[in-house]
Amino acid sequence: MWTVVSYVLKQRAAGNKRYPLVLMLEPLFRCNLACAGCGKIQYPAHVLKMNLTPEQCFQAVDECGAPMVSIPGGEPLMHPEIDKIVEGLIARKKYIYLCTNALLLKEKLHLFKPSKYLTFSVHVDGEKDHHDFSVCREGGFELAVDGIREAVARGFRVTTNTTLFDGADPKSVRDFFDQMTALGVEGMMLSPGYSYDKAPDQQHFLGRARTRRLFRAILSNRKASWRFNMSPLFLEFLMGKRHYACTPWGMPTYNLFGWQKPCYLLQDGYADTFAELMESTRWENYGTESGNPKCANCMVHSGYEASAVHDQFSSWKGFFATVRGQFAKYPDEAALRMLDEPVKPVHAPAGLVQLEKAQLKVNAKEEEAEVSA
């Protein structure tokens, strides 16, 4: 926290309006899962075989200067030199979130040493059935839980990373928070899924109105035992209590193709250097306010959490709202009632698909009306 605070204050004192908080470093796109909502694993085989070298990773980290580095992918534990990459980043005093589905975590743990700079951010999308369906692999949940147990027992920092899609049952998500808390994870991260047009399952992406409803049901009436390693203001944004514009430069992405424009989710070209990314991207063309249809439904943390962090440090009001948000329970009677509402089945029977499509059209119209309002 102190590292982030001092970094942001330094950037502001230097008059920098656009600065990165977290580098999204994708050293490979290869994965040992094929999740239905993933937009990263559809590349041709020759691309899936490629890896960034540790030197390329260090160059990107040095150019960018962000205090935190998130390593998604693909599955980073499949990178043949992931231990060297992590070692080099720790030597640079970067806080690393190594994002993993944990299928290989137990067998690869010996490559790493516990460090305050290294956190395994384990991808778990909810309770057993929901997670296994989301990652299209039976038994995926047990393997993830096994990996978490082992890493916690060996003294590593472990968090979870949960992406929620339409059909998520808020009650079940809250039970999942209890399970993860009992496992000893130090924090949980949440985000709505982004509707990648390459993802095989296009039916279960959430629109903005449904995202706010779902997160209000999940995050209101909060238990004191739950710990989230996200900005409390970003969680309030997901619950519909705040409005933020996107900050796509807050979490820039470097991968096999270079610096991706403008953000982790979209691919509107690549820059060779971080400086070129910052100078040549037409930032005004992105975010919900821009009218860009690719951004219309996005509430993903890689675009909006940096906006919340900026708000946190822009005024005393933002700062006190953050402190209050750390301890607030967000009592909300209506949200309690939402927990008892029937949930659309995730495994939609074939006969219901037409019905669902018609419902999606109605939902899209409702969201459009809400956005223009």
- Site of interaction with ligand SF4 (CB under 6 A): 246, 248, 262-263, 265-266, 286-288, 294-295, 298, 300, 302-303
112 touches 81 (CB < 8 A): no
Shortest-Cβ-distance residue relative to ligand SF4: 303
| Buried/exposed 245-283: b ≥16 CB within 10 Å, e otherwise | ebbbbbbbbbbbbbbbbbbbbbeeebbeebeebbeebeb
Q: How far is the CB of 297 from ligand SF4 (least distance, A)?
A: 9
Least distance in Å: CB of 286 to ligand SF4?
Answer: 4
**Comparison of 158 and 300: residue with beta carbon closer to ligand SF4:** 300
Nearer to ligand SF4 (CB atom), residue 51 or residue 307 = 307
Q: Which is nearer to ligand SF4, 185 or 265 (CB)?
A: 265
Instruction: Using the minimum distance from each CB to ligand SF4, give the nearer residue, 282 or 361.
Output: 282
Min dist CB 298 to ligand SF4, Å, is 3
HSE-up of residue 230 (Cα within 13 Å, Cβ side): 26
Name beta bridge partners: 70: 24, 97
Q: C-alpha angle with apex 222: 220 to 227, nearest 5 degrees?
A: 125
CB 305, min distance to ligand SF4, A: 10
CB of 268 to ligand SF4, least distance (A): 9
Q: C-beta of 303: minimal distance to ligand SF4 in Å?
A: 2
Round to whole Å and give the CA distance between 371 and 373: 5
Query: What is the closest distance, in whole angstroms, from the C-beta atom of residue 246 to ligand SF4 in the complex?
Result: 3
Q: How far is the CB of 301 from ligand SF4 (least distance, A)?
A: 9
Question: Rounded to the nearest whole angstrom, what is the least distance from the CB of residue 205 to ligand SF4 in the complex?
Answer: 12
In one letter, which amino acid is 297?
N
**20 φ, ψ (degrees, to nearest 5):** -85, 145
Identity of the residue, 117 or 274, whose beta carbon is nearer to ligand SF4 in the bound complex: 274
**What's the chain's length in residues?**
373
Nearer to ligand SF4, 220 or 247 (CB): 247
Nearer to ligand SF4 among residue 6 and residue 280 (C-beta): 280
Q: Which residues of 40-64 are buried (b: 16+ CB within 10 A; e: fewer)?
A: bbebeeeebeebbebebbbebbebb
Integer Cα distance of 341 and 150 in angstroms: 37
Over its C-alpha atoms, the chain yields an Rg (Å, rounded) of: 20
Paired residues of 271 in beta bridges: 259
Encode 105-130: b = buried (16+ Cβ within 10 Å), e = exposed: bbebbeebeeeebbbbbbbbbbbbeb
97 or 264, CB closer to ligand SF4? 264
Residue type, 256: L
* Closer Cβ to ligand SF4, 158 or 271, answer by number: 271
Q: What is the DSSP-derived secondary structure letter of residue 228? A: B
Q: Which CB atom, from 28 or from 298, has the smaller least distance to ligand SF4?
A: 298
CA distance 312 to 5: 10
Q: Which residues contact 42 (CB under 8 A, 6 or more apart)?
A: 198
Which pair of tokens denotes residue 237?
């944004």
Q: How far is the CB of 353 from ligand SF4 (least distance, A)?
A: 27
Six-digit token string for 15: 């008059």
